Amino acid sequence: MNFTEFAFHPRIAAGIQAAGYTQPTPIQARALGPALQGRDIMGLAQTGTGKTAAFVLPILQRLIHRSEKSCRALIIAPTRELAQQTHQAIETLGRRTGLRSATVYGGVSIHQQIQNLKRGADIVVACPGRLLDHVGRKSLDLTRIEMLVIDEADQMLDMGFLPDVRRILACLPQQRQNMLFSATMPDEIRTLADNLLKDPVTVQINAAKPADTVQHALFPVAAHLKTPLLFKLLHGNDALSVLVFTRTKHRAKRLGEQLARAGYRSASLQGNLSQNRRQAALDGFRDGTFQILVATDIAARGIDVAKVSHVINYDVPSTTDAYIHRIGRTGRATCSGDAFTLVTEEDGAMVRAIDRVIGHRVERRTLPDFDYRARSQEPDTVRASAPRPRRAAPPSPNPFARKSASGRFAGNSPSYRGGR
Ligand code: AMP
């Protein structure tokens, strides 16, 4: 299938080309047709499937014939990062359309947003709380909305935003096209969908299994040696783009600092950061200024960074869904990637669950030149219990030395050391 089949306006086709898209992704192939006809859409898909363009392109196509500089399309997103990313996708795909998009989210000055809205925006990408602030101040008029998108609805639910979303829905005109996207379908989202969508076309992109382009490995290690093992894994590799997941904000922050102190170009992304610092961390990771980004699940939810070479689960995720979600950041499209998970003895149940979801026993790796019996090398990661020696799996070489199928990273570079 080709984008020409959808007969996009030439200015939108130019945007698609500028974005470098040649073929629609599966969700686009299935959702674009009905969405362009004005049908309501229920999209069961997560980040990484190309869902953003699946709703942005129909919005552009509908609005391009008549730019009124009043808000006619509203996209609601759970996090500032997702809102910002969606806005950027609109800017890229709509660069030749003359249509304007504005973002509305908390954590930054409302006055600048009011100025932006005054200048006229055809599309508003918003987080629920700040959107309601603007509605209350009458700085945003929602009475001309023709298209509504609720993105990552299940995340909206997890973050407690559904009451705000319902309040927003009450401000919208009845006659409009609705698109709802969610990675999962808990009961509350099913109810929201039933109330919101009229005769929807449901498009489900199964992401239950991770992409074949991802290679998985588990690294058994004592809890107090996780940080040294992480450093060992990273040692000497500068060309990589590594997303590290931790369970807590505190740990993300501390690990980011430890990596930076050791000379790595690293940053952390966690909920306690100011909006500016979050954006700087994300932008820096995207443009390669930071080689390593340490994040929590919540902070990283929805973020889209092309070409993550490695996802490292410093802490195991709490569910297999979270595992799939985390590693969905690597091995995208035609790139291959690696998903490494540090596992301790306490993680047995999760390890079995990961094996099940991958469909086979995931490779267990040990590093031949790592001292698994060492006492703590990181004073602040010491645990009360002494390390117990592990039964070693067959040794494998430096896990990063293997060149990926895409040849994306060159291998070892001497310039950054996991300096201990
Ligand atoms: P999303 O799931 O919308 O966050 O998109 C994931 C990534 O896929 C983004 O970097 C998009 O730019 C990219 N993408 C979306 N559609 C296509 C396409 N048709 N061809 C290639 N890349 C795409």
Q: What is the CATH number of the domain that holds 89?
A: 3.40.50.300
Domain annotation covers residue 282: yes
Q: 154, 185, 205: which is the final residue of a domain?
A: 205
CB burial of residue 169 (10 Å; 0-12, 13-18, 19+): middle
In which residue ranges of the chain is pLDDT below 50? 379-397, 401-420
Return the ligand 1 atom nearest residue 21 CA.
20
**CA–centroid distance, residue 11 to ligand 1 (Å):** 19
Distances in Å between the Cα of 24 and the Cα atoms of 27, 64, 157, 182, 333 are 8, 21, 29, 19, 12
Alpha helices for 94-236 (secondary structure H)? 110-118, 128-137, 153-158, 162-170, 187-196, 226-234
Q: Is residue 375 part of a domain?
A: yes
68 located within any domain: yes
On whether both 67 and 197 belong to a single domain, the answer is yes
For 97, the 3-state DSSP assignment is coil
**What local confidence, expressed as pLDDT, does residue 333 receive?**
55
Query: What total of structural domains would you count in the chain?
Result: 2
pLDDT in the model for residue 399:
54
- Predicted local confidence at residue 277, as pLDDT: 87
Same domain, 240 and 375: yes
Q: Do 164 and 219 sit in the same domain of this protein?
A: no
Write the single-letter amino acid at 254.
Answer: R
Ligand 1 site-directed mutation target among 5, 23, 52, most atoms within 8 Å of CB: 52
Between the CA of 286 and the centroid of ligand 1 the distance, in Å, is 15
Q: Are residues 242 and 375 in the same domain?
A: yes
pLDDT at 383: 31
145 and 227 in a single domain? The answer is no
Two tokens, residue 114: 């009011």
Burial 231-261 (b: 16+ CB within 10 A, else e): bbbbbbbbbbbbbbbbeebebbbbbbebbbe
Q: How far is the CA of 352 from the centre of ligand 1 (A)?
A: 32
156 shares its domain with 25: yes
Q: Whose CA is closest to atom 10 on ligand 1?
A: 306
Residue 146, class by beta-carbon neighbours within 10 Å (0-12 exposed, 13-18 middle, 19+ buried)?
middle
Q: Whose CA is nearest to atom 5 of ligand 1?
A: 50
In a shared domain, residues 253 and 303: yes
How many residues would you count in the chain? 420
Q: Are 219 and 340 spatial neighbours (Cβ–Cβ below 8 Å)?
A: yes
Top mutation candidate among 3, 304, 307, 308 for ligand 1, by most atoms within 8 Å of CB? 304
Q: Contact, 308 vs 291, CB < 8 A?
A: no
Examine the domain organization and report whether 176 and 218 are in the same domain: no
Amino acid residing at 105: Y
343 alpha carbon to ligand 1 midpoint, in Å? 32
Segments forming the whole domain that contains residue 35? 3-205
Beta-carbon count within 10 A of 208 CB: 8
pTM: 0.62
CA gap 418, 236 in Å, rounded = 7
Pick the closest to residue 90 from 151, 154, 26, 169 (CA basis). 151
The structure tokens 């759970």 sit at: 78
User: Of 205, 239, 261, which residue sits at a domain end?
Assistant: 205
In a domain, 44, yes or no: yes
Q: Which residues sit with their C-beta closer than 6 Å to ligand 1? A: 21, 23-25, 28, 47-53, 304, 306, 333
Cα-to-centroid distance, 50 and ligand 1 (Å): 4
Q: Do the beta carbons of residue 82 and residue 303 sit within 8 Å?
A: yes
109 & 201 share domain: yes
In a domain, 49, yes or no: yes
410 falls within a domain: no
- What is the helix (H) or strand (E) element at residue 254, kind and residue range? helix 249-261
Q: What is the DSSP letter of 395?
A: B
Residues 157 and 9 reside in one and the same domain: yes
Q: What is the pLDDT of residue 211?
A: 67
HSE-CB for 74 with a 13 A CA cutoff: 29
Ligand 1 atom with the smallest distance to the CA of 25 is 19
Tokens read off for 86: 């969606």
Tell whether 415 is covered by a domain: no
* pLDDT score, position 298: 75
Asked if residue 404 is part of any domain, the answer here is no
Spacing, Cα 337 to ligand 1 middle (Å): 17
**Residue 260 and residue 169 in one domain:** no
What digits encode the pLDDT tens for the residues 307-347? Answer: 788 999 999 987 776 788 888 777 665 566 889 999 999 99
Residue 386 DSSP code: P
Distance 349 CA to ligand 1 centre (A): 34
- Between 80-93 and 51-63, two packed helices, what is the crossing angle to 10 degrees? 50
Residues 259 and 276 in one domain: yes
